[in-house]
């Protein structure tokens, strides 16, 4: 279940939302993403899902929430975000206008600008008041509400800093005997820089979800409905129903999941699966919504619409993946949850130290100018906070406010989810569906890859490899395919497919008889004699004898582990057709790339020994890494043994692979496999490219590298910035941070984390 949650600003907010969700009856698991403003929660199996109670509890905490819309591709959510974006832009413009007026007033007070009214204290007091009740009002309200609920957030820290500066200025204005200047310009500048930083952060953060928006944009709004009388009507996609037919012109996006009924065309699947080559769509071919018709007109029967389509399922999986956090984020969230308490305590200690102790130990610190915002002296009664302060109280107040403002739980809260959001979006564009941040972390640490053979390393369907020991290979293949055209055996399908590829005409069948497990015999139109197709042993029992050369070819094929179909006319052998499940074209390259990445590889199969060993030799597997004729439970037992040596990923595609996929540390299903395999796996690779396995693991490792960089930066920034803001460099080096500079540093910290996450797109 996904909820959209508004009002989250930092890691403290994330921690508060998660605690609130986990406190609700029936909720057994919850994960919150600060970037996408979403929460993923899972209810206990026997619990009644009380969504209304969950939403009400979040609202009481100051976080408005609602269930994720399921009837459209995020259009309503995007509308809400666009409105929030406009509100942020409007607040920023007002704050920047006030900031400019404050700077001009400060220059007028210094005599640089000859506009005396702008330099008066009432003018600056008015600007500060407008800033607080205007663009600063949402921050003050949110900060106070969070503090009252016992879950302080970034808004709480900013509110304390802005409110302290404003109240201190009022005290200095009304009671000049306190001995420090008025600094009404500080709240204005603080709010301006904080809002500017949040605006830039939001702008960068919106880019992290662009991949998901691009996927949603693949869903067209309209379709060309084919009526019973043959006419075409333009209708909304939501109005379509299964069983109806739609017309696709060249250049149209497929609006639904459906089956081609008429027409031949090339269809581009790259947007969904990353496949570079188009699909040759003909009657009977299945098409997924979002794919692109390239060449000719198609008539497609609707199978699934709306949220049931493949495109909608991909988007749902990506949204859930972005909401489910990686385990590495746990430390950052735990720290961020207590961070605000620590910062407030540190600010109080800073204030008490400089008020009662610091200025007595180092009296000269009262003459140190404020970095960035000071002109070297205070002008009248109005100046930068701490500039030329006459008392220790003024300096202590400035430093404590700087501590409140420079602290950045936002960077801690954004460090992991921004990277997970970018990574899962990039993966979805390639057709790789990670089911969560925890899966990405697992994929980055897996040490051993175990492959199923049939349908994973191989194509999963028998194909004719060659025709041996035959004087006329086309004739042998034509007779075999003609006789087998009435059979549904997989080998018969391989013969028919090869005859079609070679454009061999099929002869009519006059009569036929099947011997189960052995072969087929019958008479064909225009052919004198009985045609037999089957195993060599069966044909030998029917009186067909092989020459010495043919027997050598037969023995060679048996040793290679290939399937063999013998063809004879009466008692005369015509040839041997070898049928094999071929390797995927990129299987060898994919295995080699995994080895180059340091992975050890193994293969578990239910196929016979000769076939498994032949495939193993072709792909360079050691004998110890091969196992054959395994039942599903035996695959599971082998996998458990391998897990004792380190983390294991299982790559499979069939129903018999589902238990192993579920038991492995990382289950990987190829997208051409069965639905149950895809539902069981942690990572689904759409399309036919096996190279996607090493590529997806490489992306996972890059993702974890970016997360570690972000966490190091977020922790490192706060460990360095907080002591500097508290004045640790003031006595020895004369370095002092003003609150506006602290606000700029805080904003830079948050923005840099998001930009580092976006750098994943550069490779």
Nearest CA-CA partner of 409 in 333, 357, 468, 461: 333
Q: What contacts 525, CB < 8 A, 6 or more positions away?
A: 507, 508, 509, 510
Nearest CA-CA partner of 405 in 729, 143, 745, 147: 745
Domain match, 603 and 622 both: yes
Joined together, the tokens standing for residue 740 give 């506006």
Domain match, 564 and 621 both: no
Q: Strand, coil or helix: what is 50?
A: coil
Question: What is the DSSP secondary structure assignment for residue 268, as one 8-state letter?
Answer: E
In a domain, 480, yes or no: yes
CATH number of the domain at 604, please. 3.40.50.1000
Domain match, 555 and 531 both: yes
In a domain, 244, yes or no: yes
Among 283, 308, 333, the domain-final residue is 308
Let me know if 80 is a catalytic residue: no
* Ramachandran bin of 526, using left for φ above 0, alpha for ψ from -120 to 50, beta for the remaining angles: left
| Whole-angstrom distance, CA of residue 519 vs CA of residue 527 | 19
Domain match, 591 and 538 both: no
Nearest CA-CA partner of 486 in 459, 452, 522, 453: 522
Which residues are registered as beta bridge partners of 246?
A: 225, 300
At residue 468, what are phi and psi to the nearest 5 degrees?
-110, 160
What is the structure's pLDDT at 701? 94
| Whole-angstrom distance, CA of residue 83 vs CA of residue 108 | 38
Q: pLDDT under 70 in the chain at which residues?
A: 46-49, 68-85, 106, 109-117, 119, 177-181, 183, 201, 204-212, 273-277, 320-326, 329-334, 336-337, 368-390, 558-561, 654-656, 671-680, 739, 763
- CA dihedral for 131, 194, 718, 327, sign (positive or negative): positive
Nearest CA-CA partner of 245 in 256, 286, 281: 256
| Whole-angstrom distance, CA of residue 391 vs CA of residue 386 | 9
In a domain, 253, yes or no: yes
CATH number of the domain at 521, please. 3.40.1110.10
Domain match, 576 and 495 both: yes
Domain match, 470 and 438 both: no
Among 664, 680, 700, the domain-final residue is 700
What is the structure's pLDDT at 674? 47
Q: Residue written as tokens 């907010």?
A: 13
In a domain, 425, yes or no: no
Strand order in the sheet with 458-468: 458-468, 572-583, 563-569, 531-534, 519-524, 509-515
* Residue 33, CA distances (Å) to 371, 419, 455 in order: 36, 11, 36
What is the structure's pLDDT at 22? 87
Q: Are 672 and 678 in contact (CB under 8 A)?
A: no
| Whole-angstrom distance, CA of residue 10 vs CA of residue 3 | 18
| Whole-angstrom distance, CA of residue 676 vs CA of residue 669 | 10
Q: Are 328 and 423 in contact (CB under 8 A)?
A: no
What is the structure's pLDDT at 715? 86
| Whole-angstrom distance, CA of residue 9 vs CA of residue 155 | 8
| Whole-angstrom distance, CA of residue 386 vs CA of residue 213 | 48
In a domain, 544, yes or no: yes
In a domain, 611, yes or no: yes
* Residue 254, CA distances (Å) to 272, 293, 352 in order: 12, 7, 68
Tell me: the pLDDT tens digits for 335-371? 766 788 888 899 999 999 999 999 889 888 877 654 4
In a domain, 747, yes or no: no
Among 308, 339, 359, the domain-final residue is 308
> Mind spelling out the 3-state secondary structure of 52-67?
HHHHHHHHHCCCCEEE
| Whole-angstrom distance, CA of residue 139 vs CA of residue 543 | 94
Domain match, 484 and 538 both: yes
What is the structure's pLDDT at 81? 52
| Whole-angstrom distance, CA of residue 287 vs CA of residue 267 | 8
Domain match, 468 and 572 both: yes
Active-site choice (452, 465, 580, 581):
452
In a domain, 528, yes or no: yes
Nearest CA-CA partner of 135 in 154, 158, 103: 158
* Ramachandran bin of 628, using left for φ above 0, alpha for ψ from -120 to 50, beta for the remaining angles: beta
Domain match, 601 and 506 both: no
E strands within 397-490?
A: 432-434, 448-452, 458-468
Q: Are 568 and 531 in contact (CB under 8 A)?
A: yes
Domain match, 560 and 646 both: no
Which residues are registered as beta bridge partners of 268?
A: 292
The whole domain housing 686 covers 431-458+584-700
- CA dihedral for 525, 529, 530, 533, sign (positive or negative): negative
CB atoms within 10 A of CB 429: 17
Q: Specify the number of domains making up the chain.
A: 3
At residue 744's C-alpha, the angle toward residues 758 and 139, to 5°, is: 90
Domain match, 454 and 588 both: yes
Domain match, 531 and 639 both: no
CATH number of the domain at 255, please. 2.70.150.10
Burial, 464: exposed, middle or buried (Cβ in 10 Å; 0-12, 13-18, 19+)?
buried
């Amino acid at each position: 279940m996904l909820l959209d949650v508004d009002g989250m600003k930092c890691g403290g907010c994330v921690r508060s939302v998660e605690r609130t969700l986990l406190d609700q009856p029936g909720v057994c698991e919850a994960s919150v993403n600060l970037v996408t403003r979403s929460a993923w929660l899972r209810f206990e199996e026997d619990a009644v899902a009380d969504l209304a109670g969950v939403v009400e509890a979040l609202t009481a905490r100051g976080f408005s929430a609602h269930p994720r819309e399921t009837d459209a591709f995020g259009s309503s959510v995007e509308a809400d975000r666009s409105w929030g974006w406009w509100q942020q832009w409007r607040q920023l413009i007002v704050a920047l206008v006030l900031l400019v007026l404050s700077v001009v007033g400060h220059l007028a007070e210094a005599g640089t600008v000859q506009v005396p009214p702008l330099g008066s204290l009432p003018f600056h007091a008015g600007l500060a008041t407008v800033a607080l009740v205007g663009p600063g009002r949402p921050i003050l309200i949110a900060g106070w509400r969070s503090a009252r609920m016992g879950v302080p957030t970034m808004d709480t820290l900013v509110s304390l800093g802005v409110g302290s500066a404003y109240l201190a200025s009022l005290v200095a204005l009304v009671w000049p005997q306190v001995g420090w200047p008025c600094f009404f310009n500080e709240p204005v500048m603080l709010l301006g820089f904080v809002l500017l930083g949040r605006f830039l952060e939001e702008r960068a953060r919106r880019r992290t979800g662009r991949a998901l928006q691009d996927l949603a944009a693949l869903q067209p709004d309209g379709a060309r409905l084919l009526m019973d009388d043959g006419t075409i009507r333009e209708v909304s996609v939501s109005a379509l129903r299964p069983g109806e037919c739609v017309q696709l012109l060249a250049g149209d996006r497929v609006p639904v999941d459906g089956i081609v009924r008429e027409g031949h065309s090339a269809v581009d699947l790259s947007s969904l699966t990353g496949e570079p080559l188009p699909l040759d769509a003909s009657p009977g071919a299945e098409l997924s919504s979002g794919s692109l018709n390239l060449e000719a007109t198609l008539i497609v029967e609707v199978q699934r619409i709306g949220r049931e389509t493949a495109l909608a399922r991909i988007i749902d999986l990506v949204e859930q993946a972005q909401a489910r956090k990686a385990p590495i984020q746990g430390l950052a969230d735990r720290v961020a949850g207590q961070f605000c308490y620590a910062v407030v305590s540190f600010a109080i200690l800073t204030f008490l130290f400089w008020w009662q102790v610091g200025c007595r130990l180092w009296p000269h610190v009262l003459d140190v100018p404020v970095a960035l915002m000071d002109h070297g002296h205070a002008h009248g009664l109005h100046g930068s906070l701490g500039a030329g302060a006459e008392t220790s109280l003024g300096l202590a107040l400035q430093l404590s406010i700087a501590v409140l403002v420079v602290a950045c739980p936002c960077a801690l809260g954004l460090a992991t989810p921004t990277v997970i959001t970018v990574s899962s979006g990039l993966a979805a564009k390639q057709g790789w569906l990670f089911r969560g941040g925890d899966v990405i972390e697992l994929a980055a640490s897996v040490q051993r890859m175990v492959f199923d053979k049939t349908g994973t390393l191989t194509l999963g369907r028998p194909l004719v490899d060659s025709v041996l020991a035959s004087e006329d290979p086309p004739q042998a293949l034509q007779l075999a395919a003609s006789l087998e055209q009435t059979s549904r055996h997989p080998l018969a399908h391989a013969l028919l497919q090869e005859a079609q590829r070679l454009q061999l005409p099929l002869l009519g069948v006059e009569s036929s008889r099947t011997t189960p497990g052995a072969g087929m015999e019958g008479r064909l139109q225009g052919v004198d004699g009985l045609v037999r197709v089957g195993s060599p042993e069966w044909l030998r029992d029917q009186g067909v004898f092989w020459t010495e050369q043919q027997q050598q070819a037969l023995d060679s094929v048996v040793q290679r582990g290939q399937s063999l179909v013998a063809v004879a006319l009466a008692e005369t052998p015509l040839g041997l057709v070898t049928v094999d499940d071929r390797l995927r074209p990129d299987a060898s390259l994919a295995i080699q790339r995994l080895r180059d990445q340091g992975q050890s590889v193994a293969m578990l199969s239910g196929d016979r020994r000769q076939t498994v060993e032949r495939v193993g030799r072709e792909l360079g597997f050691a004998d110890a890494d091969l196992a054959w004729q395994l039942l599903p439970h035996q695959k599971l037992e082998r996998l458990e043994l391998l897990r004792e040596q380190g983390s294991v990923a299982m790559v499979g595609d069939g129903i018999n692979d589902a238990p192993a996929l579920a038991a492995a540390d990382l289950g990987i299903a190829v997208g051409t496999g069965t639905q149950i395999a895809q539902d069981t796996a942690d990572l689904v690779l759409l399309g036919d490219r096996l190279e996607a396995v090493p590529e997806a693991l490489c992306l996972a490792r890059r993702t974890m590298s970016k997360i570690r960089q972000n966490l190091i930066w977020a922790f490192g920034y706060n460990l360095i910035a907080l002591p500097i803001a508290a004045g640790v460099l003031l006595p020895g080096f004369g370095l002092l941070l003003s609150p506006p500079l602290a606000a700029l540093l805080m904003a830079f910290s948050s923005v840099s984390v998001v930009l580092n996450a976006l750098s994943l797109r550069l490779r």
